[in-house]
Structure formats: structure tokens, C-alpha cells
Structure 1
Amino acid sequence: MKTEIKNKQFLLDGKPFRILSGEMHYFRIPREYWRDRLLKLKACGLNTVATYMPWNLHERTPGKFDFSGMLDVRAFLELADELGIKVLLRPGPYICSEWEFGGFPAWLLAVKGLRLRCSEPQYMGFVERYFKAVFEQVKEFYTRNIIMLQIENGYASYGNDMAYYNFLKKLVDDSGYQNVVIAADGDSDTRISTEVPEGVWRTLMCGNENPVPQLEFNQSEQPDMPQFIVEYWNGQHMSTGQPIRPRDPVLIVENLRKALEWGAHINLYMFHGGTNFGFQNGAMASLDGWSSQLITSYDMAAPVSEAGDVRELYRMYRPLFAKFNPEFSLDTPVPPDCPKAAYGEVSLTEFAPLSANLDALSVNTTESPCPLTLEEIGGDYGFVRYTTHLKPQTFTLPVKVVGLADRAWVFYNGKFVKHLWKGNESFAVETGKGGTLEIIVENMSRTNFFCNTEHNHKGITDGVILNGQQFQHGWTTSAMPMEDTSKVVYGPLPEFPVKDNIGFFRAEFEIADAPADTFLYVPAGNRGFCRINGIILGRYDKSGPFHTLYVPAPFLRKGKNTVEVFEYDNLGRPAVQLLDHPLVGGF
């Protein structure tokens, strides 16, 4: 298989090929559902699937690579090839994608002098190591179904280091890849013009408006090339506490029709969004201080929902793509939606207070004069714990945390003192005869976009000041990834409603038959995260817009199942509900 661009046409084995693609990410979808989602893509009239690759999960520990389970990109490519689907591979190293730290591994932040997305030597060395590991996994598909490979992502929205850009292109070339290489950006006459390495196809990102003016602008910039909207935004990302603003599917389809009639190649972003399982949701932060935490669901209001159900937008797309894909028939059957089940209300029966289980949850414990960031002790996601000893004082001791990222809970001698967040980092302690001060800081997620992504250290970045007078020295810092709760000690429930008693609530429930997809709801919760059978589903927040967490059937089992709820604030009553539909505001 060979792809190339000649005479303003994209050619596959020497013949014109119209790229009709949909984006879905293998790492956001349970492996057991890859086939279902790919078949739905093909049944929509598409011929290509696009996927990012998350460096942070593939190389979570420096030099140790993971391509297993939901990260088995080779198996995903093999399945696409079996189904006759071509692939646009987008390995980064930066992916954005509303994903934690834009796909960068957190350990990069602990390397002194390292600068991201430029020709800084340390960074380029790590990128080379990662790319070589990636290419080793995917190179057998260079001549099978990888018709395009993208380097970087939206680089004009970050930098202009051509030494770095050319370095990425050379890594691809040196791997033996000989097909089309692309770059992705959202160009217009109001942006700094994008420069790309020689031989790289410059493509567009757009979709919130009529795309034809951008296509024509890009055509004027590269008149000898076809035009490709590598991200046609037919959905929307979703932020915690912000309402969903539904987009008109008629307008989405109409603008897509204009682009197709103009002659553009298309990739729908997203075709199927999936889920940011664990703590992999991203965040946004502007240079002027505005910030937003993205949610666990990556539903994106896409044509195929988070749980794999086809929407009206999907049904509207099919006849449109039938006009532009001569190999597609509307008689192609659409796979049915996956079964859903309501398992009812489950009473939480046990409680493990955080303050009594800090040692059981702590790893990578390090002593130092000053608080260390999560990255400095080799941590990445979850929480970071700070412990110090305060001497007795004859007055109420004011304490201020300087450089809090992101929110924290303070305990003194095992008793809760205060909940802290940015803009509210001060508290006071009656020291008595002296004692142990514990500050537990949550990594709410690292920002994934814009020119400030290097400012993503988590925990306490500066220090803790006593009495507005002196830094407190003598700290023990520990990571708390919350992935292993086997040593957590549970006991009886406290009195309800629970207030200011952060910790785990647990229960078991039975499934009599083969499990089906379900949706976990904490009706009396405020905010926190949930685990099912040891898997972190993600975060919940009463402010929405998603009030449930998607629980795929492969995460469940016939017979006994265990649910754990880690509530941050106040739990009104000890119960969760397992529903057969999501609770969502806005669409």
C-alpha cells in the first residue's frame, strides 16, 4: 500500500482516494468494544479511522513502555485492517485532546531545564525514545492500512521552532515510513501563518462555522495540494460546572456538506469520544487567569455516544456520506446499541476515613527541607500528601500555603481543619503542645492547551508560611495515586449526613446474569471519584453537566462486584444508584 499527493489529489496505490474519516481513541474505549465502534464507523459511510496516541500512558515511567490492554495500539490497527478501515495515526508527541497534560508524561516536569515542544536537547531525546517505541509497534502497518501519520498537533498555537518540527519529520522518515505525513492547524487570515517541514501536508481544524473560507485560504497558501479538515468539530468538549450548549445537528451537517462539495477530505472530531477513565481528564487555563476543569466523560455530543449509542447526527450523516463514498451502501446494517441495565440502588455499608488511612495510600515517600511537588517525587495522578511537625505556640498560628495546585484538605493531629483551594489558601491552627500537620492536595488535572502548559506542577510549588513570618521546614512528601486500596482499613459508617469527613465509602452488589453497561450515580454526593472492581472510573461533581459515570460491562462481572466512592465534601446519605441511562444536562 502506498499513499502520495500528486496533481492536487490524494492517491492510494496510484488511484484517487477520498478520505472520509472519523476520530476515536482506542485508549478511551474498553478493548472489548473496539470492534463495535469500528463497525459503526464503517456503517456510517466512513473509510478511515483517526486516533491519537497518549505518551503519558504508553511511557508512564521513564523508559518503560506499556502497549497492553486498552493501550494495545497494534491490536487496534490489526482490527481496523481486518475490517477494511484505513488509519490516520496521530502519535504526538503532544496531542491536546482535552487529555491530561495534552498527553505528555508528568515526569517531564521533573527534568530540570527541559522545555516542551521545542528543540531543547533533553526533550528531543525523550521524544526520540518514545517515537522509536511507537514505530516498533506500528511499522508493520505502514504498508497495510496507515495511510497518513501526523506529527505534533496545532503547533501554530504554541511555537515556531522549525528545528524541532524538522526533527519530528526526520524521526518518521528514519522509521521507514514512506506514506503521507501531515500537520494540523486552524489557519485563517487573522493568525500567524503556519510553516511546516518540507514534504508535510498542512491540514485544517475547524467546524464551528462555514468551513469554506478557511479551505479557500488554505488553498491559497498551498495551491498545489488538496485540502483536508483533519478535525471537523462536530461536537464540543465539556467543563465541570458549565452548561452544555447543544449545537444544531442540521447546521453541522449542512456545513459538512459544503466542505465535501467543495472537495475537502474530512475527519470528524469526534466520531465517538469515549471516556477519560481514571484521572485523565484535561483542563484549560488562559494566561489571564481563567481556568476550567474538563469532565471524565468525553462524550463530546458526538454522532456515537460515550456508551456507543448512535444519535440523530449519526443517522443524518449516513445519506450524506453515501453521496461521496461510492463503496458505501445505505443497506449496510448498523450494529445495535450495547445493552444497558439498571441494577438499582446500592447501600454503602462501610467507611474508611482518609485521615486514618494516609499511610495505606502513600507511596514514593521522600523527606526534604521544603515541600516537593508531585512530579519531583515521581508521582503523576491522584493526590500528594505533605506531613510536618509544628512546635507549640502561645497564640493561634496563621498558616498560608503558597503555590497550591490544586485544592487541599488540612488535618492537624488527625482532625480536619479546613478545605483549601486557589484564592483561599490560608488557615489557622491551635498548636497546643505541638503536633502533626497534614496537607493533602488533589491534582485536579493538568492543562492540555495553550502557551502555559509547562506550568503544570502539582501539589505545593513554593512552600508553607507560618504567621506571615517564616517558611516551615522539615517535610515528608508522598504520592497518593489512589490505584491500590488493598491496605485501606474499612469500618462502620459514620452518622449521616457526613460533613468534612473525606474518605472512602464501600459496598458490594450482585449481578445475576452477564453484565451490561450501566451508569453510576451518587445522588447525595457533592464531588469525588468512584472505583468499580478496583478500576478508577473517574470524577463526579454535583455541578454537572454529567451527573453519572459510565460503567462499561467489561468492568463488571457476573456475581459479586465492589463499588467505592471517595467523597471530598459532604455525603448526604450512604447510597449509589446504577442506572440504565446517563443523567446529563443539555442534550
Structure 2
Amino acid sequence: MSEREGLKANSGQFTLQDVPFRILGGSIHYFRVPRAYWRDRLLKMRACGINTVSTYVPWNLHEPERGLFLFKGQLDIESYINLASELGLWVILRPGPYICAEWDLGGLPSWLLRDKDMRLRTTYSGFTNAVETYFDKLIPKVAQLQFSRGGPIIAFQVENEYGSYSKDKHYMTFIKEALLSRGISELLLTSDNREGLKCGGVEGALRTINLQKLSYGTMQYLANMQPEQPLLVMEYWSGWFDVWGEPHHVFQAKEMVNVVRELLEHGASINLYMFHGGTSFGFMSGAVDFGTYKPQISSYDYDAPLSECGDYTAKYHLLRNLLKIYQKEKLPEPPLPQSRKAYETVPVSHHIPLWESLQFTETPFKSLDPINMESLPVHKGNGQSYGYTLYETTITTGGTLNSRNNIRDRALVFVNMQFVGVLDYRSQELTLPERKVEQTLSLLVENLGRVNYGDALDYQRKGLVGDIALNHIPVKGFTVYSLDMTPSFLDRLKTGKWKTVSEIPTCPGFFQGNLTVHGHARDTFVKLLQGWNKGVVFVNGHLLGRYWFIGPQHVLYLPAPFLKSGNNQVTVFEEQIAGGQIQFTTSPEYGRTLNVSSHPFCNLI
């Protein structure tokens, strides 16, 4: 039997098996959707008229520690691709190694930063050797699922938006050869915004463009770069992401669909980024820094056609009405929406102060000078990646404490376990109380998310990244505790001496309550308002993400697969206020909104 003819770009339109083919694509990231919901989300995608799903591959989840590779359960990428095929979808794979995606460090593992000379996304040997090892594990798993071997993968993206970075003229060739040498034979793509098109390409790969609005001449510019080749908008931004302390971004449904209509009428192929955003569970949300550091929220709703919890939106229905025109067969009926439940309010029953939880961390580390979290001797030498790090030292005076901008990203400051203030990327000076006796100075430093886009990638070490000064004198002699809140830490914490709520709670601290589910669990949202300020929420060991009173996100999505019939343990780590009740609601709450059409930031990327 002759080899099947895969996706080709040798004329003004794509062909698949030598038949004209238009990519009507959408992005759903398997790592942002509970595995139990993969089928539901992909069925909803297919019913909308989408024929191709695209997904990134997050290196930092698949190799969380150097040499430890995870490809099972939630990270079973082969099962996700096979499921897409079963449901009638083609696949475009975007394996990185860098993916951006509003994901911590753009998907690159933080242990790379243990190398003080590291130059990410270049041909620096410390980076390329790590990529080669990772690709040795990843690429054989997906190569067998290529179209030419009977699978659904019709194209691979070479890296991601390199034209906006472009620090090494040999790098894209290295990534391309890394794919080809491991058996990748399908169509190769690159993906950039207009400004990056010229520098982001590589010979042998089709250039594609990322955009939201059609500015004059954009598509013609791409066409002129590649005469007689098809046009593909690899990322048509259906909405936008959110950062803490700013409004929730929306992109009007009619405006979105009008642009999609115009692109299709002019013969272009398209991939909606995102079709369904999902959630950046855990500590995985990233940050942006174009002069000001801005951490991103845990929700990745993105104002996409399918909402964070999989609901149909106005965009979905308008898009389906448009895309059905381009179908040869009648579209399947969309699956019924999933039900949700506002569970009864859960009172906090027990708590344990941060200071008493330290015994359950890994052995504390002594250091004369400040040390960043990635360099801590924990996790078999891979350092700390996420969460909080506590730095303690002894001082003999009060006065002015200055961070020298060496705190990444936010520190709660305590003297003798009494809260005295916050130091972060905005506030870098604090007055400590004057006492001429030995006192314990503690800084609980939180990694709020590493930058996922731009030139700052190499400078994303977290914790204390340099000296802090008290009255202009560098502070020395630290005891450092790693509080990355891994499942093993939470298991150890369960054995601690939890206090009942009748005792006065101490913050920071862990607060616990039990949610009782009768019968089958249903989706819900956790709502922490009165009595809560900032922290993270775990349910049955699953880290849902961050909450913060500054918004815009005011609830955390809790999918039914994270729950069970009977008792469910809800654990809240609260930084500053002594805990209230844990409420549940059926509706997401993203605060006040801002139309991205009037927001210039979305045009920077």
C-alpha cells in the first residue's frame, strides 16, 4: 500500500490526500482540561464545525525534574491525540520546546535556570542538550501518530513565535532538524505575529500568522512572503488573557465572527486560539513584563467560544452558524450542557499556622547569602519550581528594610512572626519596628508566575535573587524553607496538630473544611470573599489555583472529576486574614470587563 499523501502547501490552497482542504481549527490544551472532560470538549468542538484541533505540549509538566518523564494520566498525550482522531478531528501539534501559552516560563522547566549561564531558546549547549533529551522521549510517542502512519497529526509547528525573540540565527534550524531527525515527516509550520514573520521563519516550514483584528495589508504581507502558498492564521485570538488587578478582557462575539467570516471569504485557513481555554491549575499561570511585571490569573477562560467550564457562549453559536456553510455534511448536534451545583457553604473546622507547618517541609537550608528558589538543594537537586519560600534570619535593630528589587515576586514580611508589611515588584521599602534585641526577620516570598513571553525569559529566577538591606547593610545568614506545596507535603501536613476553630487562627496558615457530596458530583466554583484575602485552594489534593481579592477572578473552577461522593477535603492556604467560610456557586465571576478592541496591549504580542 502506498504512503498516504498528507497535508501539502504547494499551491494557493492546502491539499490532504491530494484533495483541496481548508483548516478550520481550534486550540484546546489537554493539560488545561481534566482528562475526564477531554471527550466532552472535543465533541463540542466537532459540533461547531471545527475539523482540526491544535495543542501545545508543556515541557515543564512532562519533565518536572531533569530525567523524570511523565506521560500518563492527565499527561497522556497519545490518548488525547487518538481521542481527537476517534471523534473525527485532525491534529496540529505544537511541541515547542517553548510554547508561551500564558504558562509558567512559556512551558520551559525551571530547573534549566539552575545553570547561571543559561540562555533559553538559543543554541547554547546547556539548553540544546536538555531539548535533545526531552525530544528523545516526546517525539517518538507522537511520530507514530502522524498522518503518514495512519494517525491524525497533519502538521507540526517548529517552536513558537520565535520572530519576536530571535536571539540566535541558528536556533530554528536546530529545532527543525531535531524534529526531522526523529522521524517527523508531516508539514512543518512556524507561527508569528506580523512583526515577527520575517525573523521567525525557517527554510522548509510554512509561515503562518497570529492576529485578532485585520489591519490593512496584513494578509497580503504574508501572501507576498510566500507566493503560491496557502494562508493560515495559526492563532486567531478569540479573546484575551487576564492579569491580577486589571479588568477581565472580552472580545465582542459579533466582532470576532465578522473577522473569521472575512478571512474565510478570502480563502484563508484559520485556527481559533482559544476555542476552549480551560484552567491553569496549580501554580502554572505565567506573567508578562513589558516594563511592568503582571502575573496572570488561574482561569484561562480567554473569552473563548467554550467557557472555562465548557459552557456554550454567544461566540460558539455564531461561529457554528458560520462554519456549517463550509461543511459538506450536516454538523452533529452539540452535546447537552453539563449541570452544576452550588454546594452548601463549608465552615472551616481546623487550622494550622504556617510556622507549625515548617516541620513538614524538606530539611531547611542554611545560607549566608540569599539564594533563589531554583538553586535550593531540594527535589533531588532540581531546586524549587513553584509556590512559596520562607527566608528567616536574625536582626538586632529595626529601621528601613529595602528589597533592592531582589524579591521575586511578593514577600510578606514578619518580625517575630508578627506581620509588618509587603514587599513586591511595586513596593520595595518597609520600616521595621525599633527594638535593640535579637528578633527573627521572616520573609515569605511567593513566585507569582514566571514571564512566558518576551526578552525577560532568562531572568525568571524566583525567591530572593540578590541582597536585601537593613539600614543600607546587606542582610546575611538565612535559614530557608521550601514551601512548594506538593502532594507529598500536603500528605505530611495531614499528620500535624491541627487546631479547632475555637482557637484564634494565625495567618499565614492552612485552613480545612469538609464538603459533603451526596450522589454523583457536579461541577461547581469555589468562592472565597468575606474573611479571605489571598492564597491558594486545594480540594482532595488538587490545587485549583490562586485567589486574590484584587480580582478580576473571584471564583475558582472546581470540576466534578476532582470530587467524590461523600466527604471531600477542602484546604485553603491563606496569607493574611484569619479565614472565613468556603462558599460555592454555579457561575464564574470575572469582575468588571474591558473590550480588547479598545485595549492596545493585545496588539503587542
What TM-score comes out, normalization by structure 1 length? 0.94
Matched residue SS, 1:84: coil
Q: Deviations over 1:220-249 (max 9, x none)?
A: 111121110000011111111211243221
Q: What does residue 345 of structure 1 align with? A: 345
The reply to whether residue 448 of structure 1 matches residue 452 of structure 2 is yes
Q: CA deviation at 1:417?
A: 3.5
1:16 CA drift (Å): 1.7
1:383 lines up with 2:394 in the alignment? no
Q: CA deviation at 1:192?
A: 7.2
Match of 1:223 in 2: 227
Deviation digits for residues 339-383 of structure 1 (CA, Å, limit 9, x no counterpart): 2011121111112111222232x2363322211100111000001
Q: How far did 1:210 drift?
A: 2.3
The equivalent of 2:84 in structure 1 is 80
Whether contact under 8 Å (2:118, 2:458) holds in the other structure is: no
CA offsets 1:227-280 (integer angstroms, 9 cap, x no match): 100000111111112112432211111111000011111100000000000011
Mapping 1:23-172, distance limit 5 Å = 23-142=27-146, 143=149, 144-172=151-179
Say whether 1:198 aligns with 2:203.
yes
Cross-structure match for 2:297? 295
Distance 2:428 2:420 in 1: 13
Give the aligned partner of residue 315 of structure 2.
Answer: 313
Q: Which moved more, 1:335-344 or 1:30-39?
A: 335-344
The alpha-carbon distance between structure 1 residues 425 and 93, as it changes in their structure 2 partners (threshold 3 A), is farther
Alignment-mate amino acid for residue 312 of structure 1: A
1:407 corresponding residue in structure 2: 410
Kindly provide the amino acid, as one letter, of the partner of residue 479 in structure 1: S
Residue type at the aligned position of 1:370? D
Aligned to 1:536: 543
CA 1:96–1:243: 2 relative to 1, 3 Å: same
- Which amino acid counterpart does residue 226 of structure 1 have in structure 2? P
- Structure 2 CA distance for aligned equivalents of residues 261 and 382 of structure 1: 48
Shift, 1:531, TM fit = 0.7
Distance in 1 (CA, whole Å) between partners of 2:446 and 2:407 is 10
Q: Aligned equivalents of 2:443 and 2:526: distance in 1?
A: 30
Aligned to 1:253: 257
Q: Secondary structure at the match of 1:141?
A: coil
1:468 to 465, 472, 478: 472
Match of 2:276 in 1: 272
Q: How much does 1:491 deviate?
A: 0.5
Task: Give the letter aligned to residue 109 of structure 1.
Answer: L
**Counterpart residue number, 2:24:** 20
Gaps of 5+ in 1: none
Q: Secondary structure of the equivalent of 2:194?
A: coil
Structure 1 CA distance for aligned equivalents of residues 48 and 417 of structure 2:
57
1:404 and 1:494 mapped to 2: Cα distance? 36
The answer to whether the Cα contact below 8 Å between 2:348 and 2:580 also exists between their aligned partners in 1 is: yes
| Larger CA deviation: 46-55 vs 349-358 | 349-358
Query: Is 1:419 paired with 2:434?
Result: no
> Deviation of residue 431 (structure 1)?
5.3
Deviation digits for residues 373-401 of structure 1 (CA, Å, limit 9, x no counterpart): 001110000011212233xx4x5354333
Which residue of 500, 506, 515 maps to 2:512?
A: 506
Under a length normalisation based on structure 2, what TM-score does the superposition of the two structures give? 0.91
Equivalent in the alignment of 1:6: 10
After TM superposition, give the deviation of residue 430 of structure 1 in Å.
4.6
Distance between the aligned counterparts of 1:252 and 1:193, measured in 2? 26
Q: Residue 374 of structure 1 corresponds to which residue in structure 2?
A: 373
Equivalent pair of 1:205/1:230 in contact (CA under 8 Å): yes
Judged with a 3 Å threshold, the aligned counterparts in structure 2 of structure 1 residues 195 and 583 are, in CA distance, closer, same or farther, namely closer
Q: 2:501 aligns to what?
A: 493
Q: RMSD in angstroms over aligned alpha carbons?
A: 1.9
| Aligned equivalents of 1:204, 1:113: Cα separation in 2 | 32
Instruction: State the number of aligned residues.
Output: 572
Query: Quick one: structure 1 residues 192 and 151, their matched pair in 2 at CA, closer, same or farther if it must change by over 3 Å?
Result: closer
Residue 150 of structure 1 deviates from its aligned partner by: 0.4
Give the Cα separation in 1 of the matches to 2:431 and 2:502. Answer: 26
Q: Percent same amino acid at aligned positions?
A: 37
Q: 1:212 to 1:175 in 2, by over 3 A?
A: farther
Partner Cα distance (2:573, 2:177) in 1:
47
8 A Cα contact 1:32 1:554, kept in partner: yes
2:365 is paired with a residue whose SS is strand
Aligned to 1:548: 555
Contact 1:240 / 1:294 at 8 angstroms: preserved in 2? yes
Which shifted more, 106-115 or 416-425? 416-425
Name the SS of the counterpart of 2:465 in structure 1.
strand
- Structure 2 vs 1, CA of residues 122 and 364 (structure 1 numbering), >3 Å: closer, same or farther? farther
Q: Aligned pair in 2 of structure 1 residues 246, 462: CA closer, same or farther (>3 Å)?
A: same
Unaligned regions of 5+ residues in structure 2, if any? 377-382, 594-605
